[in-house]
Structure 1
Amino acid sequence: MTANLPVPIEFQLPEGWRPVSRREATASGVVFLALHPQPDAGYTANIAVDGGYRPDSAPLTKIADESVHRLREVDSTLVVSSRREVGSPTAPGLTQKLAFAAAIDDRLRELMQTQVYLSLNDINDPRERMVLRLVLTATATQHDAVLGDFQEFVRTVRPDTQTASP
């Protein structure tokens, strides 16, 4: 599968996950959304992809802090339970795990979110940097059960060189 971003990417969904049409996706800025086949207590785990050019040279830690700040508007008690830098100097990445509560369908749900940030240079203009965010959101009880699927998904994400070629 591919996603339309400034630097096109390709990836493989884990078995059973269903892509959602752009019409069905409601989250702003999300360019790709997939749902797990088995909801937990009425909430469906999902994998979302978003991203865009970053004209600044902000480190991934600062960009991850921006996500935390936005989610704290939903739940001021949000906890960053882990964060670590991954990748290499030429292909940096960052992963963080968040715990928070959100009102969904008039019900407060305890959610976990694993976020992976990847910094990609534009193939046609290496001076341009895109930051890609891959996000798994699931209930606190289902998160660990679907985390392996998300990790499998993350391992398949790469620039789509066929689409990016002039």
Structure 2
Amino acid sequence: MPATLPVPLEFRPPEDWLVAPAEENESLGVAFAAVHPRPDEGFAANITIDGGFPLDGVTPAQLADASVEQLREGAGSVEVVDRREVGSGDAPALTQRLAISAVVDGTLRDLVQSQVYLFVVDERDPHRRGLVRIALTATAAQHDAVLGDFQEFLRTVRPDVPEEA
């Protein structure tokens, strides 16, 4: 089963990107995935969304550090190139950009991953915060070319609040 999100989200995938079927999301452990239609030397840039409910008191920086460590377990190297805490005290968020060297499908690749961590309030329990992580992964050569699509995608992400009858 694909990862579930702490809150339902509404968003619009970038134009021309291919939305992955639910079975692929399941194997990736994400709630949503889309891939760029034109791979760069065999690697397709992708956008993924996952999330959950972190322990109380965990900061966005601690979650970002844990993500870096998890990536290091499967990659040749991972370097934090940029990290910024954004948002507010009530709705903290963090963005970070990672430079990754990893073997993917038998080929050593230089990748860049841009991550956005958003804390959201659980509508059923306002004292509980959920986390949504949105990531763009692309080759170093293609990252800047697809970054605008990712930024446009981020502008469409919002909680999917049901309309009242």
Fold equivalence (TM over 0.5): yes
- Residue 10 of structure 2 is matched in structure 1 by 10
Residue 28 of structure 2 is aligned to residue 27 of structure 1: yes
Whole-angstrom CA distance in 2 between matches of 1:99 and 1:27? 20
User: Which amino acid is 2:110 matched to?
Assistant: E
Equivalence map 1:10-159=2 (5 Å) = 10-25=10-25, 26-28=27-29, 30-159=30-159
After superposition, what is the alpha-carbon deviation per residue over 1:61-117, rounded to whole angstroms, capped at 9, x for unaligned? 000000000011122521100000112222211000001112112111111000000
Equivalent-residue separation in structure 2 for 1:6 and 1:85 (angstroms): 21
Q: TM-score, normalised by structure 2?
A: 0.92
For the residues of structure 2 that align with 1:140 and 1:88, how far apart are their CA atoms? 31
Contact 1:55 1:128 in 2 (8 A): no
TM-score by length of 1: 0.91
Quick one: percent identity of the two aligned structures? 53
The change in CA–CA distance for 1:110 and 1:156 in structure 2 (over 3 A counts) is same
**What letter is aligned with 1:9?**
L
Count of matched residue pairs = 161
Matches of 1:53 and 1:77, distance apart in 2: 28
Question: More helix by proportion, 1 or 2?
Answer: 2
8 Å CA contact 1:4, 1:31 repeated in 2: yes
**2:20 alignment partner AA:** V
1:24 CA displacement? 2.2
Find the residue that maps to 1:95 and give its secondary structure. strand
When residues 45 and 136 of structure 1 are mapped into structure 2, their CA distance, relative to the original with a 3 A threshold, is: same
| Runs of at least 5 residues in structure 2 that lack an aligned partner in the other structure | none
Give per-residue Cα distances to partners, 1:114-161, cap 9 Å, x unaligned. Answer: 000000011121111101100000000000110111111111111111
Q: Which runs of 4+ in 1 moved over 4 A?
A: none
Alpha-carbon distance between aligned partners in 2 of 1:6 and 1:118, rounded to the nearest angstrom: 11
Contact map agreement 1:114 1:136 (CA 8 A) in 2: yes
Report the RMSD for the aligned CA atoms in angstroms. Answer: 1.6
